[in-house]
Amino acid sequence: MEGAESRGLKPGELSTGTTIMAVPFEGGVVLGADSRVSTGTYIANRVSDKIAQLSDNIFCCRSGSAADTQALTDYVKHYLSQLAIETGDQPTVKTAAHIMRRLCYENKDQLMAGVIIAGWSKSEGGVVYNIPLGGSCIKMPFAIGGSGSTYIYGLIDADFKEGLSEEESRTLVKKCISHAMARDGSSGGVIRTVTVTPNGNVRDYTPGNKLPYGPCGW
């Protein structure tokens, strides 16, 4: 891949210029992401799914190198399934986040991966953990990441408040990702969301021609 080494990537590795986000609400959490995968100025995939399921009620939003984050989510999914068999109970979001954190931290020299772990568990409810480059792990009231996140910090600071409903959380996620996609050349495509509750998970997507906000529709 031309110019890969100058951007800190290994030759042949795809970088997911990305906008990812997770917002908890009373009884669950909403995760969202754009769908553009780029390698330099070339768009390798317009409709990638950057939200990976790790366990029944735990999901991961991926940003950074597509290969690195896919490998990490596969490892964590395997470890969580083994843990569920050994304990006879579903793992918590905190457990998933700390497994991911350990993998990222202990291999930080070989990885370019920033992820958000979010979901619902009996002991925690809806919860969000941010694991940026380097492998730290921070529980947060909401989380955003990827190249598009730099454009929307002010927007989410202004619009986020504690105690959002499920619909308000989903609307906020779509609004912020839509704004980021309009400004960030590495984010685009469709908006995918996953709403996680104890009653199940609901996937949704918004086509690129039906985004709630765009360059001319603020």
The residues annotated as belonging to the active site are: 18
Cβ neighbors of 174 (< 8 A, separation 6 or more) are: 32, 191, 193, 206, 211, 212
Give me the count of residues in the chain.
218
d(CA 11, CA 27) in angstroms, rounded, equals 43
Question: How far is CA 14 from each of CA 36, 38, 146, 181, rounded to the nearest angstrom?
Answer: 11, 7, 14, 19
Residue 63 · residue 16 · CB < 8 Å: yes
Question: How far is CA 195 from each of CA 16, 25, 65, rounded to the nearest angstrom?
Answer: 22, 10, 25
Strands 37-39 and 113-121: unpaired
